[in-house]
Amino acid sequence: MTNEKLNVYLKEVAILCGIKKNLTFHMARHTFATTVTLSNGVPIETVSKLLGHTKISTTQIFARVLENKVSQDINALRKILNKNKQKQIFPKPNLSV
C-alpha cells in the first residue's frame, strides 16, 4: 500500500468519525511514538526499532517526550530514591545465625 493511498483511507476514517483534522500516516507515526509507546514506558531504543529507524536521533524527532511523562518518570525516580534512603536508615536485620 502506498503512503498516498493510506492517507486517502485515513481521510475517510476521519470523515466517518467526525474528526476535523487532516489525518496522515506521518501524523500516525508521531502519535504512535509519543502517545502509545513512550508515554507508556516503552524505551526509545525499542520505539526506534518499531519505527524502522537505524539511529535513535531519527526517532527523537518523531517521539517528543510529553510533560506528563517527564513528571511520571521523576515521581518514579523519587520513590526509588526514597526507598533506597529508607533501606540505609533502617537496614534489615541479619537473622541468619
Q: How confident is the model at residue 30 (pLDDT cuts 50, 70, 90)?
A: confident
Give the DSSP letter of residue 1: -
Strands (E), the chain: none
Say how far apart CA 75 and CA 60 lie, in whole Å. 23
Query: C-alpha cell of 36?
Result: 502509545
Q: Name the residue with cell 518499531.
A: 50
pLDDT at 41: 83
pLDDT at 64: 67
Give the DSSP letter of residue 6: H
pLDDT at 16 over 70: yes
pTM check: above 0.95: no
Query: C-alpha cell of 54?
Result: 537505524
CB atoms closer than 10 angstroms to residue 56? 13
Most confident of the following: 34-38, 64-68, 86-90? 34-38
Q: How confident is the model at residue 4 (pLDDT cuts 50, 70, 90)?
A: very high
pLDDT at 70: 77
